[in-house]
Amino acid sequence: MIGAASNAGLISGFCLSRPGSNVDELKVSHLLFADDTIVFCANDCEQIVNLRCLLIWFQAVSGLRINLSKSSILPVGQLDNI
């Protein structure tokens, strides 16, 4: 679901590439660990809302509950509009 949201442009992620390399760049929208997920998106209120909607949809589809009191949003870089 996160990958589909990234492909649809709802969340941006970031791109990795090596300068001067012939290899296509790698787009990273999320990282999954044992029971943790890190989602990368732009410093944009619209993308934060899209991420929140994605989490609500995941809860509805899976029947699992996301504990938002254990969740964090950590802005990195320039903070203009948040």
Average pLDDT over the chain reads 83
pLDDT at 55 > cutoff 70:
yes
* Phi and psi angles of residue 14, each rounded to the nearest 5 degrees, phi first: -150, 165
What is the pTM assigned to this prediction?
0.71
Asked if 51 and 39 touch (Cβ cutoff 8 Å), the reply is yes
Q: How far apart are CA 26 and CA 28, in angstroms?
A: 6
Q: Is residue 47 predicted with pLDDT exceeding 90?
A: no
For the four alpha carbons of 66, 9, 14 and 81, in that order, the dihedral sign comes to negative
